[in-house]
Structure 1
Amino acid sequence: MEIYQLRTFVAVAQQGHLTQAAEILHLSQPAVTAQIKALEEEMGVSLFERSAGGVTLTKAGQLLLPEAEAILAGARGLITMARGLQGHLTGKVRIGTIADPALLRLADILVEIHRRYPLLDAQTSHSISGVVLNDVRKKELDCGFFIGKNPYVNVHAIAVRELVFRVVAPVAWQDKLANATWKDVGRLPWVWINQFNSYNKLTNELFREHNISPQKVFELDQERTTLALVKAGVGMSLMREELAQEALARGDVIEWGNVRKTASLNFIWPAERDGDLLITAMLDIVRSVWQLPEQAPVAS
């Protein structure tokens, strides 16, 4: 029995699907199937029941899964202890970033990494929320930031702050929006947000709450481009409060409806790396920079 076989067993159990487990493990589906088969032969029991929709644990698999997880946790702990004995944290940390770096306090985080761990190479990768979440899930990133509710059991998160969003519109629409109802704004164009951006879900929730289906103009993934289009008179949009306040103060846009939607800004990492020396170091830094409690709640 090999550690990599147990890792595959746990991944398949978590995902409930061979293809998705193969994607996370960076293996082919036949390789995953072969590892599970070899493990079943060595153990002398069937671990999964297979169906067209995926796989489910047998009773034997359900009993053995916690033991497999404990063995993997022990192996990670051994590696963490060994690295700690070296005296310095080395290697590379890949951090997924989103939105405005100031929103994440990214510069402060990087300064702390350099101050505490001068031998650690920090590499940032800027994208949108959904992409960062998926890359952390697949372990292509060590950690990162994500806005909204985390849907994956194999990704852990701590909320660093609550974000507020408002509805903004072109200044030229001041008169026609003065007494506008939700039904009225439902007939107007809205600058649309890319489906992988967390703002997309917030906007969809807003429309469902008020039973409207407005015109969708463009499909963007950057806040400031969205703001520029609203300012140019293209359409309305849901916008992060800090950005909206700046634009309102300059007279670039107007606010409509006194709408307030909220979502959490989260720091995320792969669940199976709990206790990993690198992740522990990053969590300590994020908690310090954001002044979070030492044991800020971890959500899966």
Structure 2
Amino acid sequence: MTPKLLAQFLAVCRHGSVSAAAKELHIAQPALSKQIAFLEHSLDVQLFRRHSRGVTLTESGALLRVDAAEIIRKIDSLRENLHGRGTHVSGEVSVAIITSLAPVLAVDVYQRIDRDYPDIKLNITAMPSDLVSMALLRQEVDLAILPNAATDLPKAQSLPLLEEEFFLMGPPGFAPPSQTIAFSAIGDRPLALPRVGHDMRRRIEEVARNAGTALNVKYESENINLLGALVRAGLASGIQPISYWLDPIAAGRLVAQKIVSPTITRVHSLCWLPELALSPAAEAIRDILLAEVAKMISGGKLSGRQPRTIAS
């Protein structure tokens, strides 16, 4: 069993798919399948259950994932200590980011890493917020960016990155021209919202309950692009933060009105597990994420502001 083999195993864990992991690792799928089969044979356990949608971990696989992640971290840390932390930083870092923020952040973050830390390999995985927190708790990733960390992920160490406000969105001409709209003025217009239980849906419903307002939810989906398509087609209005939609709003393909009286907000935080030491590479990525998000807020690439409070 080698560090390379453990890293390949962890890639399959992250993706839940041998083919997707093979693409990340730049190797052929049959070759990766053989490596995983060899690992299972050498340990004399089944690590994955195969099914039509990919693979899921067995109990033995879940146990190995925790130990393998820690071994890789220790190897990266040892390598940096031997070569000098201050002179050269390299290694692999995995970050899970909620789907609506990952594509917005990725370009600027990768450009900064290519410039300052060319020997760090960063893997950004976009997923719904509940899966982001699960990936961090299962030690599948080193860092995570997600909302509501103080309540939804109390075991994590976290630093607030971005406070977003929610907007009512629709196609051009869907509402009288105005930069804001009162929550009560949304009325009974049909809405396309994330599924029940999604962090955005929970926040919207909390405000609706407090205001004594009933929502007319016509469409539900956890896919942000599907919700956007429904809104652009004029089938329903959407209620979302708008960082993901800044380009179509600027191009006039969508119209967004900030919801007021009351406002709806959520705070995104950068999280990691305090009981696991971050490698020098992961520490570098953490610092870059903090700096780049602040820069993107001030430059208008993210809709929102830096939070006033510090998370635990």
TM-score range, shorter chain: 0.5 to 0.7
Q: Scaled by the length of structure 2, what TM-score is found? A: 0.57
Written as runs of structure 1 = structure 2, the 5 A alignment for 1:158-237 is 158-169=159-170, 174=175, 185-195=186-196, 197-237=198-238
Q: Aligned AA for 2:218?
A: V
- Aligned twin of 1:152: 153
Q: 2:62 aligns with which of 6, 20, 26?
A: 26
Please give the secondary structure, in 2, of the residue aligned with 1:203.
helix
- Identical aligned residues as a percent: 18
**Pairwise CA distance, 1:164:** 1.5
Map Cα deviations across residues 34-60 of structure 1 (whole Å, 9 max, x no partner): xxxxxxxxxxxxxxxxxxxxxxxxxxx
Gaps of 5+ in 1: 1-22, 29-75
Distance 1:182 1:122, change over 3 A: closer
- Aligned twin of 1:299: 311
Query: How far apart, in 2, do the equivalents of 1:137 and 1:27 lie?
Result: 13
**Pairwise CA distance, 1:140:** 1.1
Query: How far apart, in 2, do the equivalents of 1:163 and 1:217 lie?
Result: 24
Q: 1:267 aligns with which of 258, 270, 273?
A: 270
Please give the secondary structure, in 2, of the residue aligned with 1:299.
coil
Q: CA RMSD in A?
A: 3.9
Query: How far apart, in 1, do the equivalents of 2:127 and 2:225 lie?
Result: 14
Query: How far apart, in 1, do the equivalents of 2:246 and 2:119 lie?
Result: 40
- The ranges of structure 1 where at least 4 consecutive aligned residues each deviate by more than 6 angstroms after the TM superposition are 76-79, 180-184
Contact 2:170 2:231 in 1 (8 A): yes
Please give the secondary structure, in 2, of the residue aligned with 1:212.
coil
Written as runs of structure 1 = structure 2, the 5 A alignment for 1:106-121 is 106-121=106-121
* Greater shift in the superposed pair: 201-210 or 183-192: 183-192
Query: How far apart, in 2, do the equivalents of 1:297 and 1:274 lie?
Result: 25
Contact 1:170 1:233 in 2 (8 A): yes
Map Cα deviations across residues 228-263 of structure 1 (whole Å, 9 max, x no partner): 212323222212244379538726446486463221
Query: How far apart, in 1, do the equivalents of 2:141 and 2:255 lie?
Result: 37
**Pairwise CA distance, 1:276:** 3.8
- Aligned twin of 1:84: 81
Q: Aligned AA for 1:108?
A: D
Written as runs of structure 1 = structure 2, the 5 A alignment for 1:128-139 is 128-139=128-139
- Aligned twin of 1:5: none
Query: How far apart, in 1, do the equivalents of 2:258 and 2:120 lie?
Result: 47
Map Cα deviations across residues 171-206 of structure 1 (whole Å, 9 max, x no partner): 67648xxxx986774544221203464322221222
Contact 2:169 2:231 in 1 (8 A): yes
- Aligned twin of 2:290: 287
Based on CA coordinates, which of the two structures has the bigger radius of gyration? Answer: 1
Q: Aligned AA for 2:164?
A: L
- Aligned twin of 1:124: 124
